Amino acid sequence: MSRIAKRSFGEFEITVINDGGLEFPSHVFPDVEENRLNGLLTDSGKTAIETSFNVLHIRAGEESILVDTGAGAHFGPTAGFLQQALSEAAIHPEDVSRVVFTHLHPDHFGGSMTDDGHPVFANAELILTETERRFWTDDANFSGADANTIEWRRMGLDALECYGDRVSTKGAGGEVAPGVHLVDLPGHTKGHAGIRIDSGGTQFIYAADILHAQDLQLADPNLCAAFDADKDQARATRNRTLDMLATDGILISGAHFLDRFIGYVEHAAGGYRITPA
Ligand SMILES: [Zn+2]
């Protein structure tokens, strides 16, 4: 089974890399009743809430940019296949010039550090938004947090620390590399960001964690996963972004779409649907 899907436009070649996936238990979507959830799955021809863990690679000239690093060892035996996928794509970890963390959750930073605490991408600058870095480094945001959150935080800070002085932060819309910009997508986490590239007449957005289960959240963008830190803001960002993607015909991918998706979003009755490019 291939773990990669490539597409080129303008000066850029993008590769969507599948790091693995899993099935979510229904409590990941706590606000939807079981009947409604089962109805949405049936409409999609599914019997389980499937998700993928994706990573995006961007190549342009000398730049080899990895957006997120997959789950590493943190999500069990069905995820953490980044290294195999990179080999398949002939992407060499030592050649990666920049790594972007769209946000500091373990399914995004998990593949960035070796078991003994060294950077997997030894020559890369590590980039995240200043808002995200500030949130996770401020103890005040974690007083009274549950054990799981505390553990996620510790792992995230370890990942940042192992890149040492090669960590840099950007403001909203900041430039990652020539022609590659961050897109502010707040709500899932405080400093959650996607990636935008406009080149050769193509507009492309990597929408990161705009959604976690396409079979539920395209039909009903108001549904939030339990991981959305600020549900109202995440819902507003999801609705606004999906509408923009559909209205403007923007090529998209994202961190949790299935089947290495690269394609388009369209308005559909009450929600959205996606079609591969
Ligand atoms: Zn995620």
C-alpha 187: how far from chain center: 13
Yes or no: say if 23 and 48 are a contact pair by the CB < 8 Å rule: yes
Task: Note residues around ion ligand 1 (Cβ under 5 angstroms).
Answer: 107, 209
69 CA → ligand 1 middle, Å: 11
Instruction: Give CA separation, 249 vs 5, 198, 201, 205, 220, in Å.
Output: 20, 13, 12, 11, 20
112 CA → ligand 1 middle, Å: 15
**Burial of 214 (C-beta count, 10 Å sphere; 0-12/13-18/19+):** buried
pLDDT at residue 184, rounded to an integer: 98
From the candidate CATH numbers 3.60.15.10, 3.20.20.70, 3.10.20.30, 3.40.50.800, the one assigned to the domain spanning 4-276: 3.60.15.10
pLDDT at residue 75, rounded to an integer: 93
103 CA → ligand 1 middle, Å: 8
107 CA → ligand 1 middle, Å: 5
71 CA → ligand 1 middle, Å: 9
208 CA → ligand 1 middle, Å: 7
pLDDT at residue 253, rounded to an integer: 98
For the chain, give the number of residues.
Answer: 277
48 CA → ligand 1 middle, Å: 18
64 CA → ligand 1 middle, Å: 22
Q: What is the pTM of this model?
A: 0.97
Kindly state the tokens that stand for 47. Answer: 């019997």
3 CA → ligand 1 middle, Å: 18
Query: CA 150 to CA 154: how far, in whole Å?
Result: 6
pLDDT at residue 269, rounded to an integer: 87
pLDDT at residue 209, rounded to an integer: 98
The 10 Å Cβ neighbour count of residue 254 is: 26
pLDDT tens digits, 15-42: 999 999 999 999 999 999 999 999 999 9
pLDDT per residue as tens, the chain (277 positions)? 899 999 999 999 999 999 999 999 999 999 999 999 999 999 999 999 999 999 999 999 999 999 999 999 999 999 999 999 999 999 999 999 999 999 999 999 999 999 999 999 999 999 999 999 999 999 999 999 999 999 999 999 999 999 999 999 999 899 999 999 999 999 999 999 999 999 999 999 999 999 999 999 999 999 999 999 999 999 999 999 999 999 999 999 999 999 999 999 999 988 999 999 9
What one-character DSSP code corresponds to residue 119?
Answer: B
212 CA → ligand 1 middle, Å: 7
